[in-house]
A and B are shown apart, each in its own frame.
Chain A
Amino acid sequence: MTHTLDARRALVGGGGALVVVIAAFGVAALFIVLASKNPFDTFAVLFGYTLGNAIGFSEVVVRAIPLTLAGLGLCVAFRANAFNIGADGQIMVGAIVSVALGLALPGWPSYFAVPLSLLAGALAGGLYGALAGHLRARYNASEIIVTIMLNYVALQLLAWMIRGPLQETMAIFPRSDALPPSASLDVIIAGTRIHEGFYIAAAAVALVYLLLNRSALGFAFKVVGLSAPAARYGGLKDRALIVLAMGLSGGLAGLAGSIEIAGVHRRLQDDFAPSYGITAIAVALLARLDARFVPLTALLFGVLHVGSGAMQRQIGIPFPLVWIIQGIVILAFLYLSYMRGRARAITPEAV
């Protein structure tokens, strides 16, 4: 008994996340074999392309920037037990608003236009998230379903925008005009695409860490997430907290979308952030909702996303393998949390 407990404790300690990742790659290997390919070659391509050279790695960092921001947002919501599955929609809405504003402010100096358009994007994403939070707090409408439905609404909104009001002046492709340089984020390492959004993401990590682990608001989120009745008893406004958590969560996603456009694509287009929102769920869960680990897990999923292109080209392993790995990461994480609960259950509940 004690023996297994010790083993469990070891397993669920620092090495837990590693075990989850190994399990996920193990399952992925199985599917690669099923597809009659060699898993070792595949993983060699995956990691060689992304970690084996500076340019590949810089692309991973570029990808990790929005994943970090959106993942941080999900940490906030999940702490408060609000299941925001709508980061994708919030990313899109944020990007739409920030591009609209960025295009509308051509003559403005960049120290003004950039923060303003990014903040507008964050605000839009925040309102989009807070809407779902409000519907949950006020009408008890499941935020899971609502945020997913809002994803589909945002998808259509984006499709219309780049074929309608925001379509490029030439009106050929479904995309917006390019943002003026004054409304774009500059590249910070020449020869790569790593942009100023890196600093914003780094600052966000610190701020979200302080918010969740040190501030009164973070404590309130945690209490309301664990027990809404206890929160009310403690004098906390549980409903307002849910709306606020969803708003902050959506705000960070909206910021991620705005930065992705302002730093990478420079113009609005279909599929500019393919399923970042869903990936961000795995990012947040694997980091165990701890802001400090989010950049690391974001890098990991950045590797998967960037490397999947090479996997597909060189080995013929299709992109959805990344989904399988992400799904397994989520389920393996759950199994780990079960083991963790086991290891902690020391005292009987009732005698």
Chain B
Amino acid sequence: MDWIFLIGLLASAVRFTTPVLYAALGETVTQRAGVLNVGIEGIMLVGAFLAVLGAVATGSPWGGLFIAIGAGAILGALHAFFCVILKVDQIVSGIGLIVLGLGLSGFGYRVTIGSSSQLTAVPTFERVDFGPLTGVPGLGPIVFDHHLLVYMALGLALALGWALKRSGLGLSIRAAGEAPEAADAAGVEVNRLRFLCTMFGGALAAMGGAYLSIAALSGFVENMVAGRGFIAIACVVFGRWNPLGVMAAVFFFGLAEALQIRLQTAAPDIPYQFFVMIPYALAILALVLVAGRAKAPSALRIPFITGRHARSRAHRHKEDTL
């Protein structure tokens, strides 16, 4: 393995990491507050589509990004409406979001940009100009040759890592996901907090989708998220619900993705489909290795109803949902 290969590998690993990292960080916050959103794949798709549409409409990638974030927050709020307010099954609601997101993005794309016969130019993010730093051998391509969204994702991981651990809001979020009745008794508005965290998670998922369509590529392709939303959820488990651990997990997957693409050309005798399988198989392996031991927030998936005793956790009214 030579240096050029390794540098190229790491540089593209960073790029593959970014969209999943946004989604995974958002999901981390959502889950730490006690809500599981398996629908972020759908939200990422909507984010990817609206970012393109918004960028074209406003003439700026920033316009697209903000519209995507807003839509993500709205879809997060929809999930929160079902999970936090109606208190119905979080998984079924998430499945609904997946399918809805698939539909909204595909339908929206085909009746807008996708319907025109000529190519629409999509305003996209430029890479940050670090001047001569980009040319530094090795370090330049890996560290100083990315879009602003890449650096923002890294900054966000650090900020969330700090905030969950050291801020008052972070303490409330952890308590809401671990022992909501305790948080409630201490004066934390658990359901409000959960609602907002779910919106936040939706906004970040959409941001991850937007990165795909207006930074990594320039345009929308149907189902372009290709399972990254689910890999993000696996990374939350793999990173043990800790933003920095999640970042490491996502980077590991980014590396696997970058590697498998290079292996496709490096080993043409092996059918490329087997390389494409690698990240998905790794996600399963990661879950198997970690999930049994990792401790999810205790109240994850359990709706909080104020004034109930802790023991009533035990009988979640499953039949109400199915």
Contacts and interface: CB of A to CB of B under 8 A. Distances in A.
Interface of A: 31, 34-36, 78-79, 81, 83, 85, 135, 138-142, 144-146, 148-150, 152-153, 156-157, 159-160, 163-164, 225-227, 229, 278, 281-282, 285, 288-289, 318-328, 330-331, 333-335, 337-338, 340-341, 344, 349-350
A282 B88 contact: no
B98 to A, nearest CB: 8
A151 to B, nearest CB: 8
A150 B284 contact: yes
A157 B318 contact: no
Given A135-B288, A146-B284, A330 B315 contact: no
Given A142-B287, A142-B291, A289 B320 contact: no
B314 interface: yes
A144 B103 contact: no
B82 interface: yes
B93 interface: yes
Contacts of B111: 34-36, 318
Contacts of B86: 334-335, 338
A139 B319 contact: no
B75 to A, nearest CB: 11
Interface string B60-100: 00000000000000000010001000111101110111111
21 contacts: A36-B111, A83-B95, A140-B292, A141-B284, A141-B287, A142-B233, A142-B237, A145-B230, A145-B284, A150-B280, A153-B281, A227-B315, A285-B92, A285-B322, A320-B110, A323-B102, A330-B95, A330-B100, A331-B100, A337-B322, A338-B87
Given A334-B321, A341-B317, A322 B103 contact: yes
B271 interface: yes
A153 B260 CA distance: 14
Interface of B: 38, 42, 78, 82, 86-89, 91-93, 95-107, 110-111, 222, 226-227, 230-231, 233-234, 237, 271, 273-274, 276-277, 280-281, 283-284, 287-289, 291-292, 308-309, 312, 314-315, 317-322
A164 B271 contact: yes
Given A152-B277, A320-B107, A139 B292 contact: yes
A227 to B, nearest CB: 7
A78 B89 CA distance: 12
Contacts, number: 178
Nearest to A164: B271
Given A145-B233, A349-B312, A81 B318 contact: yes
Nearest to B315: A227
B100 A149 contact: no
Given A149-B284, A227-B315, A85 B291 contact: no
Chain B interface mostly: helix
A324 B88 contact: no
Contacts of A142: 233, 237, 287, 291
A316 to B, nearest CB: 8
A125 B97 CA distance: 26
Contacts of A81: 318, 322
Contacts of B273: 156-157, 159-160, 163
A325 B317 contact: no
B287 A139 contact: yes
Contacts of B308: 349-350
A330 B96 contact: yes
A334 B89 contact: yes
Contacts of B237: 142, 145
B280 A153 contact: yes
A318 B92 contact: no
Contacts of A350: 308-309, 312
Given A150-B280, A327-B104, 16 more contacts: A140-B291, A141-B287, A145-B234, A145-B237, A149-B281, A163-B271, A318-B111, A320-B104, A320-B107, A320-B110, A324-B100, A327-B103, A330-B92, A331-B100, A334-B96, A340-B320
